[in-house]
Structure 1
Amino acid sequence: MCERRGSRVPGGTAHSGRSAGYVRTPHAVPGHGLGGQGKASTGITPGSMVLCDIDRPLTFAHDDGFLSMSLIMPADAIALRSRAAAEQPQLLSGARGLGHLVRQLVVTLQEERAEFSETTFGIACDQLLDLVCLAAEGGTDSAPADQRADVESSIRSYVSRHATDPELGVNSIVRALCWSPRYVRTVLQSADTTARDLIRRERLHLARSRLAGASWKAYSIAQIAHSCGFGSHASFATAFRREFGTTPGEARRGHGRRLR
């Protein structure tokens, strides 16, 4: 067996000189390897992949028939997309489904690298990293069921706390909660909603509360709409009527149909 060890050197980086995670993708040949980091270790067989942090000590041993390629990625880009992918080594199956797609893309990027500009290659790697982190979360075609409820609750809570921010959107949600945009969309899709719809409804319900509140009587409807994150009085009025079946003015006066 051939053994390689990664160790920290002065300056706090791995021997590669980059603080990063990587996916090691064995080729489909009859070679085997063993990877270890901290207390975790795992066998690496043809078609499997390992996602780990090369800024921490690691051991990698393999026999003479082992061939592989590695994709090195910035650690902060991984952490932004997935806690699970950043916190501990992951063994990913490349045999079928999402893992197979990831493995094929890694191989294709290596084979076709010379055909891509730096910009195109960077975009492709960003898309691949989304898939890697989704696979590390246990995803297939949807978010992991055992995590979906907690993630959805976190998203709804964040939107509720920041509904008045006019810049609130998918990008601000993923930055705050450290999930990838793809993962957030998948979780919300499983709840039959989108980030845009969730934000709009939260703002509308907040506006309805303020329209009925004594402390907001001195403010115009346009001012209340703006305070709730709406950029246009007209778009606010249209959305309000569609949501509640009455106009903001009628809601303020307490007239019109009973609000849902």
Structure 2
Amino acid sequence: MSSRSQDLTVSSASAWDEVFSDLHGASRIKVPDRRAPWAGRLEWQRSKVYGLALCAGGEEVVDRDTRHIRSDPRGTYELLVPLAGTAWVEQGSSSGEIGPGAMVLCDIDRPLTFAHGDDLVGLSFLMPGQNVAGRSPVAAEGPHILSGAGGLGRVIRQLTTTLHEEREQLSESTFDIACDRLLDLVCLAAEGGNDSAPTGQRATVEAAIRSYIREHACDRDLDVVGVARALGWSARYVQQVLQAANTTSRDLIRRERLNVARSRLAGASWAAYSIAEIAHSCGFGSHASFATAFRSEFGMTPREARRG
């Protein structure tokens, strides 16, 4: 099963209002002249978890205020990646102009203003707010204007562009796996990893913990004690570092095991193995507990993921 794709050409401002609201949520949209011809384009890819859209339209000013948010809450964050033209974004006390050398990460359920001319072409990466907060409380506090000219920002820009270009070649499971990795990079950039490596002892320890768990996720006896022993810290200190990052070792291990399981379910090299065998290989004690955790994390059953 592939992720759902939709390509639209819009010829009126009123029709564009509907398209924009479906993508970003209810908003007040102002355009210079609603009677004038409109040239809007939307290439929209979505799964049950993520969305990625290329948008191009006429000049507009968009306001999404508390009234719109109450009537149409989305629970999502958006990374806007301009490919051409410029846009003005304002949320809370932060504001700025962004073009092809920059990106912005915003919470769709916080009041914001978005304005651009008729030359803007941009990619919008939409992700669940709970996924952002679960990875990085810092990223969730946004908005964040990020550089896309070099380093990690350039990697994010290129990965977002490639995901859009290859969207019809990806199954829903593969699309979600790639989006998970893109979200990891976005959160790292929002935490300050775009210009230099994370500084400070706690950030260094957290990065080491995450890396170790990702590498050893399928070890059946992996726990906080084993992680701490392998990295040379106390279990209590590891717990404190992860608590400050709004997570726990158990949650990290479970999430990484589920990510590995989803990759194996979608991979041809594991096609001969049953779902129960894959669950066991990823460190889960029972098929039932694995299926429950998988559905809770990805919004689909392991069987549906394998079918994709």
- What is residue 261 of structure 2 aligned with on the other side? none
1:178 is displaced (CA, Å) by 2.9
The one-letter code sitting in structure 1 at the alignment partner of 2:65 is: S
Q: Shift of the alpha carbon at 1:46?
A: 1.9
Alpha-carbon distance in structure 2 between the residues aligned to 1:100 and 1:36: 23
Q: How many Å separate the matches in 2 of 1:166 and 1:46?
A: 43
Cα 1:129–1:179 change in 2 (3 A) is farther
Distance in 2 between residues matched to 1:141 and 1:180, nearest whole Å: 27
What residue is the counterpart of 2:147 in the other structure?
93
CA gap 1:114/1:55 in 2 versus in 1, 3 angstroms: same
1:6 aligns with 2:60: no
Equivalent residue for 1:21, pick from 64, 67, 77? 77
| Residue-by-residue CA offset, 1:107-131 (whole Å, 9 max, x unaligned) | 1111111111111111100011000
What's the TM-score once normalised by structure 2's chain length?
0.48
| Paired amino acid for 1:98 | L
- Provide Cα deviations, 1:38-64, integer angstroms capped at 9, x if missing partner: 121111122311001001111001112
Q: Flag structure 2 segments of 5+ consecutive residues without an equivalent.
A: 1-58, 209-220, 228-237, 253-308
User: Per-residue CA shift, 1:108-155, capped at 9, x if unaligned?
Assistant: 11111111111111110001100011111111486422xx22445789
- Of 167, 171, 178, the residue aligned with 2:246 is 178
SS in 1 for 2:61: strand
With over 3 angstroms needed to count, the CA separation of the structure-2 counterparts of 1:154 and 1:26, relative to structure 1, is closer
Contact 1:32–1:44, Cα closer than 8 Å, also in 2: yes
8 A Cα contact 1:130 1:180, kept in partner: no
Give 2:157's aligned residue: 103
User: Which residue is equivalent to 1:64?
Assistant: 118
Of 137, 140, 148 in structure 1, the residue corresponding to residue 191 of structure 2 is: 137
Query: In 2, are the aligned partners of 1:5 and 1:58 still within 8 Å (CA)?
Result: yes
Distance 1:123 1:10, change over 3 A: same
**Are 1:80 and 1:175, in contact at CA under 8 Å, matched by a contact in 2?**
no
Report SS of the residue matched to 1:76: helix
Is residue 74 of structure 1 aligned with residue 128 of structure 2?
A: yes
How many angstroms apart in 1 are the aligned matches of 2:120 and 2:222? 54
Alpha-carbon displacement from aligned partner over 1:219-248 (angstroms, at most 9, x marks no partner): xxxxxxxxxxxxxxxxxxxxxxxxxxxxxx
Residue 193 of structure 2 aligns to a residue whose secondary structure is coil
RMSD, matched Cα: 3.3
CA deviations over 1:137-189 (Å, ceiling 9, x no partner): 111486422xx224457899xxxxxxxx973266x9686433799xx9xxxxx
CA 111–9 in structure 1, closer or farther in 2 if over 3 Å, else same? farther
Q: CA deviation at 1:66?
A: 1.3
Distance change >3 Å, CA 8–CA 100, structure 1 → 2 = same
Matched, 1:48 2:66: no
How far did residue 8 of structure 1 move?
4.0
Q: Specify the alignment match of 2:201 in structure 1.
A: 149
Q: Aligned letter for 2:63?
A: R
Structure 2 residue identity aligned to 1:21: Y
Distance change (3 Å), C-alpha of 1:175 and 1:122: farther
SS in 2 for 1:36: strand
- The code of the aligned residue for 2:82 comes to P
- Given residue 80 of structure 1, which amino acid in structure 2 is its aligned partner? G
CA 180–113 in structure 1, closer or farther in 2 if over 3 Å, else same? farther
Contact preservation (8 Å) 2:134, 2:247 = yes
Do the aligned residues in 1 keep the contact of 2:206 with 2:242 (CA within 8 Å)? no
Q: Secondary structure at the match of 1:69?
A: strand
AA at the equivalent of 2:62 = R
Contact kept? 2:147, 2:194, Cα under 8 Å: no
Percent of residue pairs identical: 46
- Corresponding residue SS for 1:144: coil
Q: TM-score, normalised by structure 1?
A: 0.56
More strand by share: 2
Range that drifts further, 135-144 or 45-54: 135-144
Whether contact under 8 Å (1:22, 1:54) holds in the other structure is: yes
